[in-house]
Structure 1
Amino acid sequence: MRRRITHLLAALGLGSVLALAPLAAHAEEPPRLGDSYVYDGADVLSDAEEQAADARLDALKDETGLDLWVVYVSNFESPSASGDWANATADLNGLGNDQYLLAISTEGRQLYLAKPLNGGLAESKLVAIEDAAGTALGDNDWAGAVDLAADEMAQQVKPSYTIWYVLGGVVVVAAIVIVAVSAAKKAKRRRGEQEARETLAAEVEKFRTQATGLLLEMDDSLRTAEQEMGFATAQFGSEAVGEYETAVTNARQALNRSFTLQQQLDDRTPETLEEQHAMYSEIIQLLETADADLDEKAEGFEQLRAIEKNAPQVLEQLTARRASAADGPERITAEIARLRQTYAAPVLDDVDDNDDEAASRLQFVDARLAEARDHVAQGDSGSAALDLHEAEQALGQVDELVSAVTGLQKRFAEAEKDARATIADLENDIAQAQGLTDNDGSLTRAIQATRTHIEQARTNLSGSERTPLLVFEALTNANTQMDQILESARAAEEARRRAAAQLDQTLRQAMGQLQSAETLVNTRRGAVGAEARMSLSQAQGEINSAIAQRESDPTAALAAAQRGLQYALSASKSARADIGAYEAPASYSQGSSSGIGEQIVGGIIGGLIGGSLSGGSRRGSGWGGSSRSSFGGSRGGSFGGGSRGRSGGGGGSRSRSGGGRRF
């Protein structure tokens, strides 16, 4: 193309322009682009090919929203590296986000696709586009390279529907699974409900059989009990059968209530299984309780009848027991006096009058035995049985009164032994507590309180005013409290240990992130706003707090270090956002002397051709008058308006760690 322009200028006799023509023909430094997507500095495309390539790239913009410029030069110079040359060209022309430049060295057989610094296609996609273009370029198909590059870029930008197919399949499968699981749950629930109904029905049938049997048994038992009560009244008197009569009356009421319930169950109004279950349960409970009460009272009559049959022999046995129990009150008095020498009066209050009670019971026994002798002599075995039964019960009470006192010494000795063992346990707890950290003083207070309990216990376990039962109870409570406090302290100590182990690592991370954030702010302070600086200050404060507390309270220090790390991360994030916003309006303004020269040549040529020719090529020969000039029209994000900010205002803002290839 440049060769064609040179011929045109020669035909017009423009000698001054021809003097500049070699500069244009050999402009292999990063050039200023015109209004077309294609820059053919190597003159490898025909007019028709160039127009077709431009149309294809225009269509690519409509398809993908991405701009792709293709630049052909013979060789890359100033810089000579393909990547540097492509990025410099993009910077020079102010390409922005979503704008790419494919640089092709026709004689150097190299190509490179420059991308935006922020975002852009992934490296693998860029390589795929380069490979597609390289396929045509390897066969010197210069125009075909544009088509293949555009096709591949469109393909790479297309969303992958595979994942949606997969997700759709997953959703369908999940829906099927959900329906299946729901159906299974419903079926399981129905089976469970059916099984529960069957179980309930079986239990109701079991209760029906049991209730029917109990009704018959209780009816028979009551008839027998009422007859027995009549005999017992005649034999032992109405006073002796009073409790039994009450039991019979209660049983009759329970039986009547049960018959009423059974009648309701047997009538024409059906009850639910739950109602039947409840009613049969009530029948069973009523009748079993009444039967147990009758049995208990009947047992007393059995004992009376046994005594009645052997009244003379029982009288002799109880008379001998009375003689053996005669010294019971004296034994109680002597034992209490001995215990008072060692133990405090309050611990003996419960048994202090046992000797008097025992003496009173013995007097009652004497009276009942005397009456029994008279009744035996008179042949009244029933009355004798009642007297002997009461005497036997009173003698049993005397034995209990004596045992309550004589057994105290053993109880006190066991309590003292247990108390001393508890003291040893508490002292061990104190030793463990002293080795734990006590941040709030609760452990110190617990230790002091426990020591007080121990001192009081030792005092109360010695001398003549001992209270072993009370001491053991107090020590048990103190031990429970100390165990709880120790458990909390050990948990806190373990948390402290874990925090201390994690603290150093977190502090290193926080301080490193803080240093990175400070460097970012310091080197770009003109672009960084208040939010990042405030986060930076907060991060420093939290880190200082963590360092100050690392020995005294590692847990609090760890929390502070974690907050410091988050503030430092926030500071870096805010600073980067501020820097990006600050640099975004900047264009690719790193020009070169040759670039300026080319603008001059372009202006002269454009003016001459625009003034003397009409109906030229669609591309035109100037960079200033087309509707695509400066890419400010439909393509958007153009020269001077791109969103690729330059770091620090210098060098290029497009970067790939690799890329480019030969063909």
Structure 2
Amino acid sequence: MIESPARHEHQHEPSTRAAGGWAIVAFAGLVGVVLAATSQAANATVTMPSEPMPSVSPRLSAATQAQLMSDVLPASPPITLTDQVTDGADVLSDAERQDVDSALDRLADESDLRMFVVYIESFDGTEPVDWANASANQSGLGPDDLLLAVATVDHEFGLSADTNVPLTTAQLRSIDNSVASAVEDERWAPAATDAADAVRRAGTAAADPLLVAGIAVAGALVLAALGYVLWRFVLPRLLPRLTRLTDRSTAAGGPAPDELADLPVPELDQRASGSLVRIDDALKTCEQELGFARAELGADATRDFELILARAAADVRQAFAIRQELDVAAQAEDTQADGAPGADHHEADEYRPVLGDAERRARLTRVIALCESAADTLDARTRAFDDLRRLQQRTPELLADVVAREPEVTDRVAATRATLERLAGRYPADTLAMVSGNPEQAELLLVNAKAAVSAGRSALEGGQKAVAVAHARGAQNALGQAVMLLDAVDATAAHLDRAAGRLDKAIASLTQDVVAARSVEGDFRVTLARTAAQASLKHVEVTREGGDPLAGLQRIAAAEAALDAALAGTRDFTEVAARASALLRDTLGRVDEQLRQTADFVATRRGAVGSPARTRLAEARRLTDAARSLQPIDPAAALGEAQRASKLVQEAARLAREDADAVMIAAEAKHDANGSDENGPITGGMMLGGILLDPKVVRSRRHAATARIGGGFGGGGFGGGRPATLRKLGTVRAWWPTPVK
């Protein structure tokens, strides 16, 4: 039977009414939310000017700024802030200055806002807020910073606040009134303290409970209405389409792979290596920046950042360990492939990859993920670290410090050259290869540091504070690397002198072991070890004069370890353990020096050193730590770990020197081909040291991230090694009511 149209319509009427009811509820909820949001936005909106206020970007030169601001600031130019209180009118006593500082500190401690205060005698006819806005822009203040400018002779003041400051119009007017009464009565210190306290109360004030409750109820109604609409109307139409899409995806072989899954294994391998180099550079820069901050502020102030750095370093160590496993597997595959064509092998056994593509891809992806995790850990504290050091306020101080320290470091270069000449007369060139170029590299870094200071001061004069910070960082890092290079030569000299002194003792110890081995007859292993030890003694005696004492010690230690292992069956357990412990201490001391020397080389040539050298160095550190953990319980096993660490750190040193030499040879070839040195001294200075400066790319105050050193900007900083994002410097300031005279 066919239903009548009336019956059909009547049958669905209850649902239609229900849907209509929900629609009304949803509409009411939306209206409530819109009204609440509109009310909140109206309260939070800072009144904007009828005409746009001028914005002075720190990128502009001083001359350009003067031209742009000539109609606004005819007689009183803005200033660049260097402290939170600037008493240019000399109206504050020491006690009053302390009261103002305390009020500003309370504001910074109890809220996200900061305030700066400037006292001058007169605005010279300039609108007070215009003068305050221009000074705030020129000083690079951010959205959470306010500037109170007070003219003591004019009895006027201007309060500069960013358009995005988290304060309502009513709160701003309340702050204005608290300042106006104090200025009118010539109470200069209370004008600032009352303003700071008013901002602090406004910044920490709770929202209206009724407004919050209204928004919550309206939001709940809207969510309920949307849920009903989705369940009643959207899902029945959407589910069939989703099913069809799922079927198509399954037929096509599953969901689309992500970016890394699309990459061929060789390209994924290159990306993993690049990620390791970038994050390792970032760690080294963070360590250097943390050292600067510790020297300036003390260990207590930087303890949290040390923990953050340790957390990121743990991820990087794990990534390097995976990279080492991959490199070892690749070497094994190469060895197997070279030996495969032998006649005694079946064709199917000629080559068996140690790792399949799927396993290699998974490990490489894990390396990249660990590097990203470490970068995120560091980037999360970049702003906090910059706020701790207050670089924008302290840029002139940093530049002056570099200028003051540079002559002392320059004088050390001549002394270091003399030390190297003395060492060259006693030891072969290979022994000094890691430090022989240090004086020249230090000189180039000092040249770069002076150039960076000059550029930083020019940027300050032009009002480009963020650019000046970048140059100050570069100058400080260049000077720090120069000191590291010179210290490395002194440390190497001391280590060689100690090694030469220990050589006699090592020769005597091995000679006694050889004599003891002669009494053991019929043991082929002992005979073989004794013969090798005698050969080592002969070699060391022949090469001792003018030879490498470190190589001699290592050769004797290896021979003594082999002879001890052969004689272990003829000695009691106590003697075996004691000899292993003594040999382990000597080996760990030598490995520690090798690690220090190689790490210094990589840190000061990180613009050139690639992933393989860094991977071997990280693995050597891991094995050394393992040896120390085993030292109390199993000295023999610990000795084996230490000996493997020694081999790996030597390989790391060789690879690092090859990388640095290749970069310098390529630079010289380019210089010879072009007939000009277009890079100047930076080729072997900041560029080789991984400190590149680009005045057009600077760290923003809020999202500062260290670009990869060796390809980065600004001389480094505390961050995860990601490229810095270009961000316009300076902000347009909000209009502020005319103060009461």
Work out whether the TM-score is over 0.5: no
Computing the radius of gyration from Cα coordinates, the structure with the larger value is: 1
TM-score with structure 1 length normalisation? 0.30
TM-score with structure 2 length normalisation? 0.27
